[in-house]
A and B are shown apart, each in its own frame.
Chain A
Amino acid sequence: MPRKSLRDLEPGANFIRRHIGPSDAEIAEMLSLLGVSSLDDFIDRAVPKKLHTHRPLDLPPPKAERTALSYLRSMAERNEVYTSMIGMGYYGTITPKVILRNVLENPGWYTAYTPYQAEVSQGRLEALLNFQQMTIDLTGLELANASLLDEATAAAEAMAMSRRISKSPANAFFLDRDTHPQTIGVVETRARTFGFEIKIGDPLKDLDPSTVFGVLISYPGSSGEIRDFRPLIDKLHKAQALAVMATDLCALALLTPPGELGADIAVGSAQRFGVPMGFGGPHAAFFATRDEYKRLMPGRVIGVSVDSKGNPALRMALQTREQHIRREKATSNICTAQVLLAVMASMFAVYNGPEGIRRMAERTHRLASIFVAALKSFGYEIATKSFLDTVTVHVPGRAHMLLAKAREKRINLRFVDGDHLGISFDQSTRRQELERLLSCFRTDALERIDIDTLDAKIIEVIPENLQRKSPYLSHPVFSLYHSETEMLRYLRYLQSKDIALDRSMIALGSCTMKLNATTEMIPITWRNFAMMHPFAPLEQTQGYQQLFEELEEMLAEITGFDAISLQPNAGSQGEYAGLLAIRNYHEASGQGRRDVCLIPVSAHGTNPASAAMAGLKVVAVACDQEGNVDVADLKQKASEHAEHLAALMITYPSTHGVFEEAIKEICDVVHASGGQVYLDGANLNAQVGLMRPVELGADVCHINLHKTFCIPHGGGGPGMGPIGVKAHLAPYLPGHRVIQGVNPAAGRNQAQGQVSAAPWGSASILPISWAYIAMMGAEGLTRASKVAILNANYIAKRLGPHFPIVYTGPNGFVAHECLIDLRGLRERCGITVEDVAKRLVDFGFHAPTMSFPVPDTMMIEPTESESKRELDRFCQALITIREEIREVEEGRADRHNNVLKNAPHTHLLLLEDWDKPYSREKAFFPLHSQRDDKYWPPVGRIDNVYGDRNLVCTCPPMAAYLEAAE
């Protein structure tokens, strides 16, 4: 071998081969099976020539993993972490390290998918059920969902739900003016497209209940004030209006809960239960309501059902409310929850228990009380009469000066106005920080007062009738795991029930379950990214500003757009924000009449749900036999609605996994009729480096960072759905009510179109996407797209002889995913898609996407991160299953009692006499390789019907667990 130079020996761009699963040798083998000579030759045939970009990606050269980390480190260091006392819905919190390391930093939790396949998701379903129980206990309401995107969108959802429930003829929704301003911003935006009037004022003074269908009351208020709203709520109910309360979990440990005050809905953020502020997110919002409104509640709900043996088993309940079934009639366009963060918050409650939570609330309240007592003794006037942990201080004409003084001592306070400052205490506030703060208000404070002496004299300020009497977190789960050993094992016990990417490939079509690399994940828990308050002064957030600028530039280069908004914190939010931009653009151009949105019937259900939310009328466009958009039908619909055409929403490559050749023509047709093209970026992973949405004809596109750009799915959230737009739409990108300049193109309309609580969405997970793009560079990203397409075609080729491939595109190739056909099996031998999905569990695999976009099919998207070895294992499983189906088809196996119908097979079956008409080996170890590493499903097939007919969304009594265990 010739001697290698030092330059040759350098690792260079070492990440590309770590991210891309198949080795060069494996790629060559796959290409030869497909009958093509090279990867480029393959792409030339699989991707329509006329769509290939003429402008290759122009990005900085790929960075080595170590280099990317040091670059991010220096970026992080430009953020300055001050003690935050800003409050406004974001508080310091101490994440228990056992939760930090074993949940947030653990791929067993963060690489899992949304728990649609309940049998392989029991661990996180239990954690989410704990989250619901915690929410129910603390809010005093009867039912809670498994989290929403943020407090502000939860409030907007509560408004929409109030409209559906209320029988009041009024069209106005009233907002307590003492509400976090970011919540007001989002609710106002949402109200505009719904056509609701918004009234803002003091609900105890300015509200006539007969003029509204609902009210959002803040309890405690954004200012910290706690007031008794019982009489108002009674009046609202008499007027058939709903009472929504925006509240705080920590406060509810000490305050009479909303349910006991008569509220109909309670919303808020679970951030301060152990989830870092992260410059705005991601965090889990909670949403609770009365049992009678369960079918109108947005978001995912976890329910208890039973499995095939009658044992308790968990699942997502009431899915018929969701957009994937109800489309434009859904309760909301929300698909994503914030599962990873909800799991963290629920574990925070599990680890601390009722006493721990109460102690935390009492300590925080005491710090605030001591602060108030001290300030009063200095002669200050406190504007907040009853408070828990947040107070507003009256400082006539001195707010700016005091704010600056506090900053000198590295403390951030809330600037209310020239005469008022807001101060919030939290779990992380130290005694010396209270002292530092006091010395801002009086230089010799510490000489004049002694904290312990003041403490002894504190008089309770929470009014007697608002003090909490009822117990909470009394379920045993909140008392069993308070030692770290017990907690560690509980987390491990739950994690081992689930299939995540740390176990096997998850080939979910249109979900892009690719590698979430460790190097990408590491920075998100760094102090200088994690501990930042979203409303910290701009000069302290230079690192984040740099991150946003660089990431926006990268995404703009990849997609071809002129401007990017990072605010939408989920794909569905991106859709909504994009459609709003289109609406506002039309309006500003004097075309406000344009309110028709064309959507192909093959579209994901979120598209019509988002369109409905943006106030657009959905008109369906037909698809032809090949699954492609029927261009003739599109032309007809476009001309029929030319006067009113606002937009077309289209996914590319198509939801059926094909590069549609007519895409440019389709966009031209829409433009010719005066409409805009919204491209759903769910399948962007097949485009990067090969073509750009803008080159195809898109005006707007959302970018699922949690698909194409490596943010993990977190078991069902967080997601991130930034949007890219062409220059003419840039002025209409989301602004923010608190932070100016979020959208530089907006001019004077800075606050318009706010869609998320935080100005830059879930900022703390953006380093993941930055790191991915930086480490892959143009060359790596383009190669990733090519290999993603290759992997899908390899699977299609291998499975083709066993399952027909429903649709193919140019030269018989698919795009980055393929749809296998199971139609007709049900009629022939009674085997359903569900049977195949559950049988895959016995092989240790998570099923691909079921029955979308065509009923009785499976959509397989392997991504570029899976090696040929893993693809072969997966294909082998499906081919073996095909043989098992044939046994039923040919009458060699019983139609009802067979290995598919009885799947999945749990370990508990080993305790029974084996009476199945097939062997145990076939049931449990269908592949020889499983003898080394066997996934044991914790429950048998779950009875969905039982669960929806007998809805239980709280933790089952301990007896049920014990019974199940016995």
Chain B
Amino acid sequence: MSTLHYTKDHEWIRVDGDTATVGITNYAQEQLGDVVFVELPAVGKKLAKGAEAAVVESVKAASDVYAPVSGDVIEVNSAIVAEPAKVNQDPQNSAWFMKIKLADKKELEALMDEAAYKTFLAQSP
């Protein structure tokens, strides 16, 4: 059974066992507009929570994607590098960014669940 978590930087994290799949939320892609470029970390890279992990760019905005949890990058989604438009089309599913092997499951506790994220969005200006 996988669980979904969210960050204030508009990333989602789906956890299966000790693997976290990370992507950006639908709200994030809407704010960015048409995504034209995605840069992903190298497989094997060790990420500390909060470190810059990936870059996503539209024509008018550039945004860093921060590691929501600490761990090693075990897989990246090269399909979105080849075709960045996928991030707009299916952000919360097939257009995932990277898979991280969780170093510390406790870090998940600080993240929001879906209901909390929705409340967070509603409160944002």
Contact = CB atoms under 8 A, between A and B. Distances in A.
Contact of A945 (B39, B59, B61, B64): B59
A776 to B, nearest CB: 39
Contact of A320 (B34, B61, B85): B61
B57 A320 contact: yes
Contacts of A948: 36-37, 57, 59
Interface in B34-62: 34, 36-37, 39, 57-62
Contacts of B36: 945, 948-949
Nearest to B64: A329
Interface in A271-328: 295, 319-321, 325-326
Contacts of B60: 319-320, 325
A953 to B, nearest CB: 15
26 contacts: A295-B37, A319-B60, A320-B37, A320-B57, A320-B58, A320-B59, A320-B60, A320-B61, A320-B62, A321-B62, A325-B60, A325-B61, A326-B62, A329-B62, A329-B64, A944-B59, A945-B34, A945-B36, A945-B58, A945-B59, A948-B36, A948-B57, A948-B59, A949-B37, A949-B84, A949-B85
B56 to A, nearest CB: 10
A944 B39 CA distance: 19
A321 B58 CA distance: 11
Contacts of B58: 320, 945
A325 B84 contact: no
A329 B55 CA distance: 12
Interface of A: 295, 319-321, 325-326, 329, 944-945, 948-949
Interface in B61-109: 61-62, 64, 84-85
Nearest to B39: A295
A135 B84 CA distance: 30
Nearest to A320: B62
Contacts of A320: 37, 57-62
Nearest to A851: B60
Contacts, number: 31
A682 B62 CA distance: 25
Interface residues of B, number: 13
Nearest to A949: B36
A948 B61 CA distance: 12
A945 B85 CA distance: 10
A320 B38 CA distance: 12
A736 to B, nearest CB: 36
Nearest to B63: A320
A859 B80 CA distance: 36
A329 B52 CA distance: 12
Nearest to A327: B62
Contacts of B34: 945
B81 to A, nearest CB: 12
Nearest to B34: A945
A959 B99 CA distance: 45
Nearest to B59: A944
A325 B62 CA distance: 7
Most chain A beta carbons < 10 A, residue from B57, B58, B84: B57
A329 B60 CA distance: 15
A326 B52 CA distance: 14
Contacts of A949: 36-37, 84-85
A295 B36 CA distance: 12
Given A295-B39, A329-B64, 7 more contacts: A320-B57, A320-B58, A320-B61, A325-B61, A326-B62, A329-B62, A944-B59
A877 B88 CA distance: 36
B86 to A, nearest CB: 12
Contacts of B57: 320, 948
Contacts of A329: 62, 64
